[in-house]
Amino acid sequence: MNTALITGGSAGLGRALVAALADQGWHVITDGRDAHRLDQLRRLPGADRITAIAGDVTDAEHRAALRAAVDADGRLDLLIHNASALGPVTGETRRRLLADTTPEDLQYVWRHNVGAPLVLTSLLLPTLVASRGVLLSISSDAAVEHYAGWGLYSASKAGLDHVTLTFAAENDAITAYAVDPGDMRTQMHQDWFPGEDISDRPLPETVVPHLLALLASRPPSGRYRAADFPALRAPAGSHSGAAV
């Protein structure tokens, strides 16, 4: 049985990926800060193949618990860095001009979006290398575009891209992808646009088949858009394409 670790699996794209891979027979280890939402994963098809561990990926003890779960399997075929942070709330918004950014803002966003993925990958790298596995980080178009008020988040995603692909440059046994999933109808996206109607954005479940197609085709390490890969149909009888 293949093993995947997906951070931030309690909601949005992370939850959709957990559902799809577990339904296809993978053992999926995942985490999230909201224990109640993680508990809802027990309702998914293939829930007996999901190991959910509540906690914050920036916490060393929590990362040790994730490693222990991987060690119990003795393999890691896929590591997906999905968990991320927009930034501390200021008033009613997380948007802040770079000129107004504080050292605390920088530390908060960098720890979640760059530091934690880097340290967790390093912790799990020997097992990922032994499995000749895949490292996949969920990026954003903000990593290569310049949006007013998004500067700190954008820089962190660019940093995540660089860290992800450097791991592959330093380790021939693994393949690494930084993937822009495109806009999605998630709570995180809604938080970035409070009060706005984002119902025109696609659900994260619609992005998953494109990511599965990327994993199936396993192109060279690099930065990609999910939309670059035609959606891969789920196996007959699979529920992975259904909204959760």
135 contacts 82 by C-beta, under 8 angstroms? no
Instruction: Provide the edge-to-edge strand list for the sheet that holds 3-6.
Output: 50-54, 27-32, 3-6, 78-81, 134-138, 175-180, 222-225
Two tokens, residue 228: 């670059």
Task: Give the CA radius of gyration of the chain.
Answer: 17
Query: Would you call 224 a catalytic residue per the annotation?
Result: no
Q: Give, in order, the Cα–Cα distances in Å from 121 to each of 60, 80, 86, 116, 225.
A: 13, 10, 21, 8, 22
Catalytic, out of 108, 147, 153, 224: 153
CA distance 213 to 228: 10
Neighbours of 50 (CB within 10 A): 21
- DSSP string across 160-179: HHHHHHHHHHH-TT-EEEEE
CA distance 242 to 244: 6
Neighbours of 159 (CB within 10 A): 18
167 contacts 121 by C-beta, under 8 angstroms? yes
- DSSP string across 207-222: THHHHHHHHHH---SE
Q: Which residues are identified as catalytic?
A: 153
